[in-house]
Amino acid sequence: MAELHTGYQPDTVAVIGAGSDIDGALQKRLQRVGFRTQLLGMDQLDELRADAIVINASACAGSDAMADALHVCRELAQKDCRLLHLSSYQVFAGGERKRYDEEDEPAPLSEAGLQWLACEQALIECAELSVLRLGWMVDRSEDALLGRILRGLVARQPIALDDVSRGSPVTLTDLTRVVVAMAQQLASGAPVSGIYHYGAADSCTALEFAREVVERAQSFYEDDFTVALDALPEAPDHSTVLACNKLRDVFGIQQRSWRQGLTRQVELWLERLEAERQDGA
Q: What is the pLDDT of residues 104-145, one digit of tens each?
A: 999 999 999 999 999 999 999 898 999 999 999 998 887 889
pLDDT of 4 above 80: no
What is the rounded average pLDDT for all residues in the chain? 91
Phi, psi (rounded to 5 degrees) for 22: -60, -40
The proportion of the chain whose per-residue pLDDT surpasses 90, expressed as a percent, equals: 72
- What burial letters (b/e) apply to 156-173, b meaning 16+ CB within 10 Å? eeebbbbbbbbbbbbbbb
**pTM summary value:** 0.92
